[in-house]
Amino acid sequence: MTSITINPEILIIDDDRDVGEALEILLSKLGYNSTFFDSVEKGKEYFEKESNPIVFLDIHMPKTSGLDVLPYFKNLNPATQVIMMTGERDINNVVTSLTHKASDFLLKPFSLQTVRIAVQRALDYYTLLKEKEARDENILRDLRLASKIQKKILSVPVISPLEVVVDNTPASFVSGDFYVLSKIENKVMVLLGDIEDHGVTSGLIGLLMTSIAREAYKENQDPSHVLKRMNLELAQEIGTHSLTAAVAVIDLGKKTISYARGGHPFPVLYQAAGQKLLNEKSGQLLGIMDALEFESHEIPYESGDVLFLYSDGLLNSLSSPLFKELEDVRKKGLSIEDYQEAIRTFSKVSLPTREFRDDSSYLLLRL
The C-alpha atoms of residue 288 and residue 111 are separated, in whole angstroms, by 65
**Residue 281 reports pLDDT greater than 90:** no
**Residue 5 reports pLDDT greater than 70:** no
CATH topology of domain 155-366: Phosphatase 2c; domain 1 (3.60.40)
245 falls in which pLDDT band (50, 70, 90)?
very high
The C-alpha atoms of residue 232 and residue 5 are separated, in whole angstroms, by 50
pTM of this prediction?
Answer: 0.72
The pLDDT value given to residue 2: 45
The C-alpha atoms of residue 265 and residue 79 are separated, in whole angstroms, by 47
CATH classification code of 10-140: 3.40.50.2300
pLDDT in tens, 326-355: 999 998 888 889 999 999 888 887 766 554
Regarding predicted confidence, which is higher, 7 or 227? Answer: 227
The pLDDT value given to residue 170: 84
Other Cβ atoms closer than 10 A to 258 = 20
Least confident range of 140-144, 191-195, 295-299: 140-144
CB 304 within 8 A of CB 274: no
CB 137 within 8 A of CB 153: no
Q: Give me the mean pLDDT over the 229-252 stretch.
A: 91
310 falls in which pLDDT band (50, 70, 90)?
very high
**Residue 3 reports pLDDT greater than 50:** no
Task: List, in sequence order, the alpha helices (H) in the chain.
Answer: 17-29, 40-50, 66-76, 91-99, 112-153, 200-219, 223-232, 321-331, 336-350
- Name the region of 101 (left: φ>0; alpha: ψ -120 to 50; beta: rest): left
Residues 6+ apart with CB under 8 A from 257: 248, 249, 250, 251, 269, 278, 298, 299, 300, 301, 307, 367
Residue 24, SS3 per DSSP:
helix
The pLDDT value given to residue 45: 93
Listed in order, the ranges of the chain carrying CATH 3.40.50.2300 are 10-140
Q: Give me the mean pLDDT over the 137-144 stretch.
A: 82
The pLDDT value given to residue 199: 78
Listed in order, the ranges of the chain carrying CATH 3.60.40.10 are 155-366
The pLDDT value given to residue 298: 94
Q: Give me the mean pLDDT over the 12-19 stretch.
A: 90
Q: Give me the mean pLDDT over the 56-74 stretch.
A: 86
- The mean pLDDT of the chain is 86
**Residue 146 reports pLDDT greater than 90:** no
**Residue 66 reports pLDDT greater than 90:** no
CB 125 within 8 A of CB 103: yes
DSSP string computed for 300-317: E--TT-EEEEE-TTT---
Residues 6+ apart with CB under 8 A from 316: 265
